Structure 1
């Protein structure tokens, strides 16, 4: 049984919207973050880069 104190990964995506010149990211687990457009762009690229790396680390990844 997983330890309830240890956060588990979510399979549901977050969603971003633009409001009044800011980007609001909402997601699972009550995630809510407001960022400038520049911070959102850098966060988005970082997430894409990390997703590529994570897929290559999976034990079932094809060479």
Structure 2
């Protein structure tokens, strides 16, 4: 039986992005660090925003069906 504590939970704190020596560094929780080119960071940022908007819509839809 899987205990709930074993199930990964979504992170609630945002990562922090910075530019260093011409690359973008994203620092996240628990020591997570990702280094990207400016182009990759731009694409990642756009993808994250689109996914966040979709997730917010899904939460809204779930709330409507629970009512």
Give TM-score scaled by structure 2 length: 0.80
Give structure 2 stretches of 5+ with no counterpart. none
Q: CA–CA distance in 2 between the matches of 1:8 and 1:27?
A: 15
The residue correspondences of 1:47-62 to structure 2 (distance < 5 A) are 47-58=48-59, 59-60=62-63
How far did residue 28 of structure 1 move? 1.5
The residue correspondences of 1:27-42 to structure 2 (distance < 5 A) are 27-42=28-43
Deviations, residues 4-56 of structure 1 (Å, cap 9, x unaligned) = 2x321011000100000000001123221000000000000000000000000
Q: CA–CA distance in 1 between the matches of 2:30 and 2:10?
A: 10
Greater Rg by CA: 2
The residue that corresponds to 2:21 in the other structure is 20
RMSD across aligned positions (CA): 1.5
> Which structure features the higher share of helix residues?
2
Matched length: 60
Give TM-score scaled by structure 1 length: 0.84
